[in-house]
Amino acid sequence: MAKKEHLFIVFENLIKIKSECSCEILSECGLSDITMKQIGYLRVIDEHGEVTFSRLAKITRNSKPTITEMVNKFAKMECIYREKSSDDGRIYYIRLTEKGQMIARAEQKALLRVIEKMADSLDEKEMDTLIKLLGKVR
């Protein structure tokens, strides 16, 4: 049991480091008070690229008025902008700004920062061993 407790402490520390990296990235964007749910919506927009209000409502299982309210809030936060379709003037696409992309990708960037810290702390042989060991976890 002592080994599992030790492993718990080690992973708890890694998660803490990742959380600190995430907070740093969000602070760089000037949005340290953004919620995980909001980040999730920005990630959906980022993953789907060209997304309309209707499509975003369908993907997130929200009503169109809820999506409109969310998009307005994100526009005020300078995370998204609306772009009118060149084919159909009634359709608007929701696009991420650079700031929105940075927030949407914050968790991935935070994980990369943790990996960089690990790489800086370990020699090549230790990295190979870590990769091999973690590769066994399913």
Q: What is the pLDDT of residue 70?
A: 92
Q: How confident is the model over 79-92, as pLDDT tens digits?
A: 999 999 888 888 99
pLDDT tops 90 at residue 35: no
Please state the φ and ψ torsions of residue 29, each to the nearest 5 degrees: -85, -10
pLDDT tops 80 at residue 102: yes
CATH of the structural domain 34-104, one choice from 3.20.20.70, 3.40.50.720, 3.40.50.20, 1.10.10.10: 1.10.10.10
Q: How confident is the model over 49-82, as pLDDT tens digits?
A: 889 999 999 999 999 999 999 999 999 999 999 9
Bridge partners of residue 96, in order along the sequence: 80
Bridge partners of residue 92, in order along the sequence: 84
pLDDT tops 80 at residue 1: no
pLDDT tops 80 at residue 46: yes
Domain range summary for the chain, segments of one domain joined by +: 1-33+107-138, 34-104
**DSSP reduced 3-state for 52:** strand
pLDDT band, residue 97 (cuts 50/70/90): very high
Q: What is the mean pLDDT of residues 106-132?
A: 91
Q: What is the pLDDT of residue 20?
A: 87
Q: Within 13 Å and on the Cβ side, how many CA atoms surround 61?
A: 0
